[in-house]
Amino acid sequence: MKKIRQCFGIVLWLIIVSLGCNPVQSVDRNNFKTCEQSSFCRRSRRVKPGQSPYQLHLNTLSVGSSSISAELVNYNNLAKFKFELSAIKEETFRMKISELSPIRPRYEVESALVSEPELDTLKIIEQTADHVTVQAGANEAKVFAAPFRVDLYSHGQLVISSNARGLLKFEHYRKKPEPKAEEGAGAAEEAEAAGEEDIEADPGAWEENFKSHHDTKPYGPAAVALDFSFVGAHHAYGIPEHADSFALKSTKNTDPYRLYNLDVFEYELWNPMALYGSVPFLIAHGPARTVGVLWLNAAETWVDILSSGDQTVVSSIVNFVSGSDPTPQVDAHFISETGIIDVFFNLGPRPLDVFRQYTKLTGTAPLPQYFAIAYHQSRWNYNDQDDVRMVESKFDEHDLPLDVMWLDIEHTDNKKYFTWDHLRFSQPTEMTQNLTAHGRKLVVIVDPHIKRDGSYFLHNDAESNGYYVKNKEGRDFEGWCWPGSSSYLDFLNPAVQDYYAQRYSLDNFKGSTEDTYIWNDMNEPSVFSGPEVTMHKDCVHHGGWEHREIHNIYALLNTKVTFNGLFRRSEGKLRPFILTRGHFAGSQRYAAVWTGDNAADWAHLRITVPMCLSLSVSGISFCGADVGGFFRSPDEELITRWYQAAAFQPFFRSHAHIDTKRREPWLFGEETLGVIREALRKRYSLLPLWYTLFREHELTGAPVMQPLWAQFPTETDTFAIDDEYLLGDRLLVHPVTEAEASSVTVYFPGPGQIWYDMDSYEAIHVSSKHSGGRTEQIPVNIRKVPVFQRGGTIVPKKERIRRAASLSLDDPFTLLVALDVNGTASGTVYIDDGRSYEYKQGKYLYLDLKFEGKTLTSRFIDKNSKFPTKAWLERVVIIGWPSAVSKARIESKGMGTNVLEASYNSAAHLLVVRKPAVSMAEEWTLSLL
């Protein structure tokens, strides 16, 4: 959603509050803080390495079956903390540091973890005056007392060290100093003696101004910060959301990466500025090991990254690992405004292990309904119900598949969510039923700001029940957003959670149906009149928590409640679908995420890959970007390339700003329409693969969209690649993201691997003589989407393309069997009703396919699961087959034995077996004769 309009709509307001809203076409950086403009970031960033005043009192050590704890003291001011280290199942340690007896409770994050993590057993294996070592499985933690440091070992190798650089900082809550009559030398000396000179000297410690906004900071300085050194890591990844390269850059000469959910107008590319979401999860990867760190803190956070090249002697811990050996290392320094230090260390050792370990903590994305992974058509706005009907019918007329129509804010009665514009959407139920009759769905927007309008039931309920977030004076917070003067539901309040979830019931949300799904936008939250376009940090939530403490989980809670609402609406029968802009660790359990208000230019198309990779490795697999770019209008070539690229990204939706030209596919020339149709058909034909990958993500945490190093972890050439990626372990995708491209440079990973062009079946062999991959120029014309199937895999597809994916569930399957150098291949197919939760009761089929020698078999992975699918096997295509075969035999219990024709294309090394016609609900064996 957004903007331009915002500038006109609230111009008066803007003058009053002198908030800049810049109508030029890039972000107004002045609207957003730098680290230097933020007192806690500034203070923490100035901490000098190598002088840590923190010491652990090992004489206070207490040992439990899964954890140890002890007192930690800051010798500059004698503030006391509790240190706790626990062992968690799945190669994970958790470290918590909090105040021993704070004068006010410190906020601990809710709702990000899927549940209380399962503890593992731990035992002390060594204790001296200077350190204690604990062991959990093959992992050890060596905790040093003075200065405090925690080194984590896996299989005897040092992998992560915390506070190795001595940047730990925990600003305990304190009483506000009395204003001094005179700022004499005595006071300054006193402060210095207490080691608090940074706070005393910082005019922003107790109150802070930014532009015209004043932050009262009633509880004063409360920052927490800590450094982590990753031994052997070449790069760090994750900590979305930023419009930057996938491999994080050194921030030595820039601001740190910022995590603070913000509605950034026309965001700039390739920089560490904050965007709509914040996932404080970082992955460090090297050829020998991959590890992850979850910094569980919901306050504004900045992250500095240093890589080996930036090391100073003091910052490198290599010297006590292996002397002068130049072991690569990445250092990260997390700085949060408040909260506690609560860190999870996932020790790998492989990327897929880290994904599993991390999603064990924060959850995986539940399997979406089948329609949700198909194509979505959106714009701000479809004008009225006739427009919706017209657009939908044009999709049919032009033979373009479509599953979902979307309505942005203008569908409501004056931006009152859960209502409809009476004139333009007078028959919403019939409109939706018309879509449903064609197998399609509707998504409508529901934002968390509430119009302050005495005739709006939601406002009246919220106001009278105290459901709004409060300002610092304790009155309902009011800010400016789409409806004008608005207040914001306080999702921390359990009563609000229940009330809001109920709004989604069919009785309450008149005009909605079971096929109406939800888009939660503007949930950073966006407040046009607020500091940095969001809520004041001294606003107050349920429980007395300041907004400062929970800011980054506001969107998470918003989508959690929406999810519960949709779940209850169908009495737990149908899987909800929600799209969210704001997000945090754990958001994947509730919603898909898109990259917000991008623009119609090539660089924005290009950055969709690194942005979605960063989200994917941080647990958020269901990611996409507005096709065509939200702002401005794409030309024919750009829209074509965007459709082609997005057809191979998890969430596939076209969307556009209200001031852009209409851009439905038929509004371009015949050729463009034809190529877009092809891209859509490619997506639809591969939906069985997408669906299987989403199910496997739900089971294992493996991202649907993966960086090359997830499958080729030791291949250093893959580490910085972010213009191509893998879908599962089966397809390699390199979208064309440059104008007038006549070729793309594709890196094919894996010594000894074969990659097959999905269009020509041409084989690209990677030599097994070298340790790296192979780089090739692949020629492209406007129709070409460079996608390659990995030899050794089997890809399921459906070649009949229906008007909507949900109508294709019974259609027959084609299997693409791509052989590796040994002439073998394997793969899986997942099948269920595409809609309900019955799969949780065993109503599904999960097939294990194997090709070896001359035989392809299909076996059930879960013998007790069953699903009566009508789908059958229509075709088997064996890619890379060396010689002619003319007959094959299919056998199954239900069908007996049949002999089939096979045809061989010797130029393409392609063997096609037609109509095995066996049911996918049976186990079967296909043999080449």
Looking at the annotation, which residues are catalytic? 521, 597
Task: Find the shortest distance in angstroms from Cβ 262 to ligand NAG.
Answer: 38
In this structure, what token pair is assigned to residue 639? 């829209």
Contacts of residue 285, Cβ cutoff 8 Å, sequence gap at least 6: 233, 234, 235, 236, 237, 351, 709, 713, 719
Task: Please tell me whether residue 397 binds ligand NAG under the rule CB under 6 A.
Answer: no
Contacts of residue 542, Cβ cutoff 8 Å, sequence gap at least 6: 490, 492, 493, 494, 496
Task: Please tell me whether residue 792 binds ligand NAG under the rule CB under 6 A.
Answer: yes
From residue 705, alpha-carbon distances to 160, 243, 694 in Å are 27, 18, 10
> Which of these ranges, 344-352, 423-431, 535-543, 705-713, lies near ligand NAG under the rule CB under 6 A?
423-431
Please tell me the distance from the alpha carbon of residue 675 to that of residue 692, in angstroms, as a whole number: 26
DSSP 368: P
Q: Are 75 and 53 in contact (CB under 8 A)?
A: yes
- Hey, is 708 helix, strand or coil? helix
Q: Do the strands 578-580 and 516-520 form a parallel or antiparallel pair, or are they unpaired?
A: parallel
> Which of these ranges, 228-236, 341-349, 426-434, 531-539, lies near ligand NAG under the rule CB under 6 A?
426-434
Q: Which is nearer to ligand NAG, 576 or 749 (CB)?
A: 749
Angle at 481 (CA atoms; ends 480, 486), nearest 5 degrees: 65
In this structure, what token pair is assigned to residue 285? 């990867």
Select from 130, 192, 430, 852 the one that contacts ligand NAG (CB under 6 A).
430
Q: Which is nearer to ligand NAG, 27 or 804 (CB)?
A: 804
Task: Please tell me whether residue 483 binds ligand NAG under the rule CB under 6 A.
Answer: no
Contacts of residue 361, Cβ cutoff 8 Å, sequence gap at least 6: 88, 92, 113, 114, 117, 294, 344, 346
Task: Find the shortest distance in angstroms from Cβ 396 to ligand NAG.
Answer: 11
Contacts of residue 234, Cβ cutoff 8 Å, sequence gap at least 6: 285, 286, 287, 307, 308, 328, 330, 716, 719
Task: Find the shortest distance in angstroms from Cβ 435 to ligand NAG.
Answer: 9
Among residues 813, 680, 670, which one has the least CA distance to residue 402? Answer: 680
Select from 39, 378, 381, 385 the one that contacts ligand NAG (CB under 6 A).
385
Amino acid at 803: R
> Which of these ranges, 135-143, 729-737, 769-777, 818-826, lies near ligand NAG under the rule CB under 6 A?
818-826
Q: Are 613 and 708 in contact (CB under 8 A)?
A: no
Q: Which is nearer to ligand NAG, 385 or 559 (CB)?
A: 385
Task: Please tell me whether residue 476 binds ligand NAG under the rule CB under 6 A.
Answer: no
Task: Please tell me whether residue 431 binds ligand NAG under the rule CB under 6 A.
Answer: yes
Map residues 329-368 to x or -, x wherever contact with ligand NAG holds by CB under 6 A.
Answer: ----------------------------------------
Task: Find the shortest distance in angstroms from Cβ 517 to ligand NAG.
Answer: 18
Task: Find the shortest distance in angstroms from Cβ 774 to ligand NAG.
Answer: 15
> Which of these ranges, 55-63, 439-447, 803-811, 815-823, lies near ligand NAG under the rule CB under 6 A?
815-823
Q: Which is nearer to ligand NAG, 200 or 384 (CB)?
A: 384
Q: Which is nearer to ligand NAG, 703 or 792 (CB)?
A: 792
Task: Find the shortest distance in angstroms from Cβ 221 to ligand NAG.
Answer: 57
The string of DSSP letters for 392-440 reads HHHHHHTT----EEEE-GGGSBTTBTT---TTTTS-HHHHHHHHHHTT-
Task: Please tell me whether residue 427 binds ligand NAG under the rule CB under 6 A.
Answer: yes
Give strand pairing partners of 653: 376, 626
Task: Please tell me whether residue 822 binds ligand NAG under the rule CB under 6 A.
Answer: yes
Please tell me the distance from the alpha carbon of residue 634 to that of residue 928, in angstroms, as a whole number: 49
> Which of these ranges, 537-545, 669-677, 816-824, 920-928, lies near ligand NAG under the rule CB under 6 A?
816-824
Count of alpha carbons within 13 angstroms of residue 110, beta-carbon side: 15
Q: Which is nearer to ligand NAG, 434 or 513 (CB)?
A: 434
Task: Find the shortest distance in angstroms from Cβ 823 to ligand NAG.
Answer: 9
Select from 389, 424, 875, 915 the one that contacts ligand NAG (CB under 6 A).
389
The string of DSSP letters for 507-574 reads TTSTT--TTEEEEE-STTT--TTSGGGS--TT-B-GGG-BHHHHGGGHHHHHHHHHHHHHHHHTTT-B
Task: Please tell me whether residue 174 binds ligand NAG under the rule CB under 6 A.
Answer: no
Q: Are 152 and 159 in contact (CB under 8 A)?
A: yes
Count of alpha carbons within 13 angstroms of residue 255, beta-carbon side: 21
Task: Find the shortest distance in angstroms from Cβ 381 to ligand NAG.
Answer: 16
In this structure, what token pair is assigned to residue 396? 């049919």
In this structure, what token pair is assigned to residue 336? 């949060």
> Which of these ranges, 254-262, 265-273, 661-669, 817-825, lies near ligand NAG under the rule CB under 6 A?
817-825
Q: Which is nearer to ligand NAG, 435 or 746 (CB)?
A: 435
Please tell me the distance from the alpha carbon of residue 121 to that of residue 96, in angstroms, as a whole number: 17
Give the helix/strand (H/E) hosting 151: strand 149-154
Amino acid at 113: L
Q: Which is nearer to ligand NAG, 348 or 880 (CB)?
A: 880
Contacts of residue 676, Cβ cutoff 8 Å, sequence gap at least 6: 400, 639, 640, 643, 665, 668
DSSP 268: P
Q: Which is nearer to ligand NAG, 4 or 821 (CB)?
A: 821
From residue 478, alpha-carbon distances to 19, 449, 451 in Å are 16, 10, 10
Task: Count Cβ neighbours within 10 Å for each residue of 616-632 and write b for 16 or more, e otherwise.
Answer: bbbbbbbbbbbbbbbbb
Task: Find the shortest distance in angstroms from Cβ 431 to ligand NAG.
Answer: 4
Map residues 433-462 to x or -, x wherever contact with ligand NAG holds by CB under 6 A.
Answer: -x----------------------------
Select from 398, 752, 807, 833 the one that contacts ligand NAG (CB under 6 A).
752
Map residues 698-717 to x or -, x wherever contact with ligand NAG holds by CB under 6 A.
Answer: --------------------
Task: Find the shortest distance in angstroms from Cβ 771 to ligand NAG.
Answer: 15
Q: Which is nearer to ligand NAG, 427 or 745 (CB)?
A: 427
- Hey, is 143 helix, strand or coil? strand
> Which of these ranges, 138-146, 210-218, 430-438, 687-695, lies near ligand NAG under the rule CB under 6 A?
430-438
Task: Count Cβ neighbours within 10 Å for each residue of 204-216 and write b for 16 or more, e otherwise.
Answer: bbbebebeeeebe
> Which of these ranges, 223-231, 262-270, 356-364, 428-436, lies near ligand NAG under the rule CB under 6 A?
428-436
In this structure, what token pair is assigned to residue 288? 């020998």
Q: Which is nearer to ligand NAG, 55 or 824 (CB)?
A: 824
Task: Please tell me whether residue 820 binds ligand NAG under the rule CB under 6 A.
Answer: yes
Task: Please tell me whether residue 768 binds ligand NAG under the rule CB under 6 A.
Answer: no
Q: Which is nearer to ligand NAG, 610 or 773 (CB)?
A: 773
Task: Find the shortest distance in angstroms from Cβ 434 to ligand NAG.
Answer: 4
Task: Please tell me whether residue 827 binds ligand NAG under the rule CB under 6 A.
Answer: no
Q: How many residues bind ligand NAG (CB under 6 A)?
A: 11
Task: Find the shortest distance in angstroms from Cβ 43 to ligand NAG.
Answer: 54
In this structure, what token pair is assigned to residue 466? 């105290």
Task: Find the shortest distance in angstroms from Cβ 494 to ligand NAG.
Answer: 38
Q: Which is nearer to ligand NAG, 254 or 826 (CB)?
A: 826
Residues that bind ligand NAG (CB under 6 A): 385, 389, 427, 430-431, 434, 752, 792, 820-822
